[in-house]
Structures are given as C-alpha cells and as structure tokens.
Amino acid sequence: MDSLNEVLEKILQEHTGKQAGQQPKEQKQYECQKCKDTGFVEKVDEKGYPISIRCDCYKIRLAKKIMDQSGISTEFRKKTFDNFQTLQDKQLVNAKRKAMQYVEGFRQTENTRYNSILFCGQVGAGKTHLGTAICGTLMKERIAVMYMAYRNAVTKLKQTITDEEGYSKEINLYTSARVLYIDDLLKGRLTEADVNILYEIVNYRYMNNMPMIVSTEKSPAELVDFDEAIGSRLIEMCRGNIIQLSGKGLNYRLYGNGGVSGG
C-alpha cells in the first residue's frame, strides 16, 4: 500500500495537471503549476475586478503538513481496513462494517445533519484504528481530512488565546476543514477554556453541517454529562454512526499481539 505521503503527492500532481516527463524544464520546480506554489490564483469577481483566491491545492497541502507534524502519516500506513482484525468478535465485525459503510456513503451524507461518526471505548479497543482507516480512505479519494490530536491541539490553542490573529488562524484549521478527525476527545484534565474552545469548533461545524470523525474513551452519556451543548450536538451529528467498543475482555491491542486475553 502507498504511504500517505505518496498518495498526497499523487493527488497534488493529478490535481495540478503535472505529468511526469511532459513538462518543460523550467516548470518542474513547482509542486502546483496552477498557482506556482503561491497558494493563490487570480480570478475576476462578478464586477470584473481581479481578485486573489485560495488555490485548490491549499487544503490538501495544509492537511498534509499537519499530519506530517503530528506523526500520523505513519499510522495511516499501519492502520487500514484490510489489517483491522475482527477476531470473529461480533462487536468488532459490526464496528468495521459501520466504518466502511460510513466511507462508502460519505459523499451522499456529507452536507446533511447526520454526517459524522463517533467511536467510543477503552484504550486498545480498536477505535483509533477504525478512525484512522476512515481518514486514510477519504484522503485517497481526495477528501482533505484535518487531524486534530485533541489534547495537543487544545493546549496550543490556549497558548494563542491572547493573540487574536494567531488564535483565529489556529482554530480556523479545525473549523474550516472539510472533514475533521478529533482523536481522543476529552482526554486528560479539562478546564473551562478547554470547554469553550471545543464548543467553538463543534458548534461551528454543527451549524454548517461539516463532518467530524471522533474517537473518545468517554461513553455517549458521559459526553452529554460533561457538557450538554457539545455532547448533544456531537451525538446528533453522529446519529446512526455511534460505535461503542466496550465489551468485557475486549482489548484489541492485547489480542492483536498474540492472543493474550484481556480477561
């Protein structure tokens, strides 16, 4: 299987019409021929004035950069649907089927109220594997997914909170992404600032019907208990796609490493 980086390179190349061996030498230095790597293209607005708009390559490039920084690129290679082991466990079989159905139906549900998916369960239950497999598959279909490592992202946002421009640039990564993957939602100690930041992201995406893929150790009830406004919005958006991996003795990582029973 191609690594995520190779996949993204291919996307960028196809997207920008770059074909190996067919370009004059002086054009080869740009990754994107359309904008010559400036990230902007010139257009004319409805009144006939020239304007600069973001090139289509921008979101793909940005998603790639964030994933490279987060180290998740390696995970995409490792965690696919093909190598998710269900171990004939009914819960895991269903979880995998749901995840694959979500990807198949993505383009139909994308702009609807119920366009998101939630994986709940303990560490090692397989939720991150399935969430990552969904993201990897969407990326291959040229759907830019922004990865948000919940704890790190919120910490970084809090550090920029007094810098209005910096904060809005940073939070915009998560509000404006076509698809947002929130990994390990509500992990760690929570402050009021965490809640406010999370609400800002979730509410924006809720209001605009923008899909989220969420993994968390909390149960749906715990999400609502934690904060009703955030929890209820998430649960509404994930209707029909809430997957709980919490059965007794279900420890995917232990099983996967050679059949040691989780109890």
Q: Are residues 254 and 261 in contact, defined by beta-carbon separation less than 8 angstroms?
A: yes
Complex with Zn ion: residue 26 or 82, whichever CB lies closer = 26
Q: Considering the complex, what minimum distance in angstroms separates the CB of residue 42 from Zn ion?
A: 12
Among 7, 8, 11, 32, binds Zn ion (CB under 5 A): 32
Complex with Zn ion: residue 120 or 143, whichever CB lies closer = 143
Contacts (CB under 5 A) with Zn ion, residues 48-107: 55, 57
CA 2 to chain centre: 19
Contacts of 158 (CB under 8 A, 6+ apart): 193, 194, 197
Q: Are residues 48 and 7 in contact, defined by beta-carbon separation less than 8 angstroms?
A: no
Q: Considering the complex, what minimum distance in angstroms separates the CB of residue 37 from Zn ion?
A: 7
Among 8, 35, 148, 250, binds Zn ion (CB under 5 A): 35
Q: Considering the complex, what minimum distance in angstroms separates the CB of residue 30 from Zn ion?
A: 8
Complex with Zn ion: residue 53 or 193, whichever CB lies closer = 53
Q: Considering the complex, what minimum distance in angstroms separates the CB of residue 60 from Zn ion?
A: 9
First CA to last CA distance, the chain: 34
**Cα dihedral angle (95, 96, 100, 103), rounded to 10 degrees?**
60
Per CB under 5 A, which region of 18-26, 31-39, 209-217, 230-238 contacts Zn ion? 31-39
Q: Considering the complex, what minimum distance in angstroms separates the CB of residue 55 from Zn ion?
A: 3
**Three-state DSSP class for residue 193:** helix
Complex with Zn ion: residue 58 or 204, whichever CB lies closer = 58
Work out whether strand 242-245 and strand 117-121 pair parallel, antiparallel, or are unpaired.
Answer: parallel
Among 9, 13, 23, 34, binds Zn ion (CB under 5 A): 34
CA gap 95, 91 in Å, rounded: 6
Binding residues (CB under 5 A) for Zn ion: these are 32, 34-35, 55, 57
